[in-house]
């Protein structure tokens, strides 16, 4: 196993300042030591029929599921979650133990 992953795929609400939300997310992950890595990106290639309106993906890595559980109850996460949920139109969340199929070079 290569850690525990928290993947969030979102479509922001019309008129939301995405940069402000992203700053908040980066602040959050910097405040919580349990987050071992954080990546995000904006879709620029997928055809709309496959994207289904989703535009951004956020991926956090934790050493183990218990670290993720601690993250979800961390005061900074609880506070930021309200702001995040208010900014998004729809989202999908997947939380899973990851299995490395091929390590980065």
What long-range pairs does 76-85 form, CB within 8 A, spacing at least 24? Answer: 76/27, 76/28, 76/31, 76/32, 77/28, 77/32, 80/24, 80/25, 80/27, 80/28, 83/21, 83/24, 84/21, 84/24, 84/25
For the chain, domain boundaries: 4-97
Enter the pTM of the model.
0.88
CATH number for the domain whose boundaries are 4-97:
3.30.70.100
pLDDT at 74 over 60: yes
1, pLDDT greater than 50: no
Cβ atoms of residues 12 and 88 within 8 Å: yes
Q: pLDDT, tens digit, for every residue of 42-58?
A: 999 888 878 889 999 99
């Amino acid at each position: 196993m290569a850690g525990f992953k928290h993947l969030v795929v979102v479509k922001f609400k019309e008129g939301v300042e995405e940069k402000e939300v992203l700053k908040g997310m980066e602040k959050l992950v910097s405040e919580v030591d349990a987050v071992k890595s954080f990546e995000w990106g904006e879709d620029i290639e997928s055809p709309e029929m496959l994207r289904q309106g989703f535009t951004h993906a956020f991926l956090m890595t934790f050493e183990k599921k218990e670290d993720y559980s601690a993250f979800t109850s961390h005061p900074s996460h609880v506070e930021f979650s309200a702001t995040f949920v208010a900014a998004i139109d729809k989202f999908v969340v997947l939380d899973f133990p990851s299995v490395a199929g091929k390590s980065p070079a």
